[in-house]
Amino acid sequence: MTLWQRMTNFSFLPDYAPYFINGIICTLLLSVVSVFVAIIPALCLALMRLSKSKILRGISGAYIQVFRSTPLLVQLFIVYFGPFTAITLPSYKMFGFIDTAIFIPGVVALALNSSAYVAESIRAGILAVDKGQTEAARSLGLTQAQTMRYIVLPQAIKNIIPTLANELVTMIKETSVIGYLGVQDLMWGTKTTAGATFLPLSPYILAAAIYFCINFPAGKAVEALERRMRRGDK
């Protein structure tokens, strides 16, 4: 069989198409849930980085550096074989094929990793707000916490939303490591198909095409969102 034939042999699709369909559902669900779960710890980390306390800044900085400097796959295994070996999670089949007992540890690992990146984006968004806003709020008698809650954060959201959307696009690709836990995402379905059909190339080409069809339009949507957000600045 020639290279071209191995690349274009999709005879497995009639039998294995459900693996790819279920994989797309699982991948998108993992991505959306993980990014939303990451927002709260990311906000806490960003505020700690902006704190006057050296201890809080040190803890936040150490967390961000550790998660940004180590592979996501290693973090995934540490989370799954560490804390979650002592926690008994309910096993429930979402959509009939996603086991919550392994889906939840996957979400936690992805969210912990994502929060390290989102925290820096939130911090940058907060710092982008004019300092005069903070000074005006404090002069009116608002506390530092009230100033951050009512004045700074609402304005920083405009700077943060495009970054969060971009993180969601990135997360769609990063979920490919979750298949190592047995979560039936797109890569799990691809590896299962390749192993069962002895076709080592065409299933992965199909997976790459699916990822592209998801991420390319999503990336263009993020670019359009960023342009729309910049209109207010002009």
Question: Which pTM does this prediction carry?
Answer: 0.87
Res. 101: pLDDT tops 60: yes
How much is the average pLDDT of 96-122?
Answer: 91
How much is the average pLDDT of 111-136?
Answer: 87
Task: Give the CATH H-level superfamily of domain 3-233.
Answer: MetI-like (1.10.3720.10)
Kindly report the three-state secondary structure assignment for every residue of 77-111. Answer: HHHHHCHHHCCCCCCCEECCCEEHHHHHHHHHHHH
Res. 166: pLDDT tops 90: no
Over the stretch 75-89, which tens digit does the pLDDT of each residue have? 999 999 998 888 888
- Which range scores top for mean pLDDT: 81-85, 152-156, 220-224? 81-85
The chain-wide mean pLDDT, for the chain, equals 88
Helix (H) and strand (E) counts in the chain: 10, 2
Over the stretch 23-43, which tens digit does the pLDDT of each residue have? 999 999 999 999 999 999 999
